[in-house]
Amino acid sequence: MRDYEGLTFERAGGVATITLNRPERLNAILFSMIEGITEIVDECGRDDDVRVIVITGAGRAFSSGDDIVGGMGDRSEGWRQGVGLFTDLGPHHLLVKTIMEAPKPVVAAINGRCHGAGWVTALACDFRVARDDVLIGDIRAEKAIFAGQTVPLILPRLIGQSRAMDLLITGRVLEAAEAERYGILARVWPAADWESELSTFIDELAEGPTKTYAAWKMTVNRSVLAELDGYVDYERRIATLARDTDDAVEGPLSFREKRDPHFTGH
């Protein structure tokens, strides 16, 4: 397995762990990281010796989202493309689809902040488990960024349309207890017990009936996967319109300049 900028990977028995590894940038996402997670999950999904896949973050965050300050870097030439009305459905689409189709449990082990593309990745996983001091949410609307990346399809199924609308339009951030109450997080553990509780949980999954887990996963995810390609085609059309606005320029610019945005509605 080749190296990917911004990621580390390790195997311990039947557990494969992918770590977002740009702690100095709160693990802000690069294209190389999206491509790497996708490739690793795909390979691990086909490896009978892998029983469970864990995605986590180094340092004090899971991920702050796409790196809109430093830039996401270039996409690898010839990297796999999706198929739909658009020739390229984008790397985030393929990431989500690969995670949801992998015939193994995929666990997002969330430490610290989880936003943007990190939030996209976590929502695609089968389990989201977290420390009790996490902060989680989309947050992109407050920067006038529309980049649904499948979230508007997945989140309402998870927590209901009303709550999803609230989180996505306001960009509100949830603390762990509320995120667990909403149904976003499956397990929340005290920070002091995080490593031991996570290890116990992962080991239990790794020792379980993997094929049975795969059957449950495929049937639970069936409706989303059946709709996913057509949905992303539609979402990308909407995103093209949303990005062609003055506010869409002002939002990221104000973030880079560390000032409050001035939105005009244009």
Q: Return the pLDDT at 247.
A: 93
For every residue of 226-262, DSSP letters joined together read: HHHHHHHHHHHHHHHHHHSSHHHHHHHHHHHTTS---
Q: Return the pLDDT at 88.
A: 63
Per-residue pLDDT of the chain (266 residues; tens, 9 = 90+): 678 999 999 999 999 999 999 999 999 999 999 999 999 999 999 999 999 999 999 999 999 988 877 877 777 655 555 444 444 678 999 999 999 999 999 999 999 999 999 999 999 999 999 999 999 999 999 889 898 899 999 999 999 999 999 999 999 999 999 999 999 999 999 999 999 999 999 999 999 999 999 999 999 999 999 999 999 999 988 998 998 999 999 998 998 898 999 999 99
Which residue stretches of 48-193 are H helix?
A: 91-101, 116-124, 151-159, 161-170, 176-182
Instruction: Return all residues near 11 (Cβ < 8 A) that are at least 6 apart.
Output: 17, 50
Q: Return the pLDDT at 83.
A: 46
| CA–CA gap between residue 29 and residue 18 (Å, rounded) | 14
Domains recognised in the chain with CATH numbers: 7-192 (3.90.226.10)
Q: Return the pLDDT at 81.
A: 53
**How far is C-alpha 173 from the chain's CA centre?**
15
| CA–CA gap between residue 109 and residue 111 (Å, rounded) | 7
CB 164 within 8 A of CB 176: no
Q: Return the pLDDT at 67.
A: 86
Q: Return the pLDDT at 84.
A: 47
CB 201 within 8 A of CB 194: no
Q: Return the pLDDT at 72.
A: 74
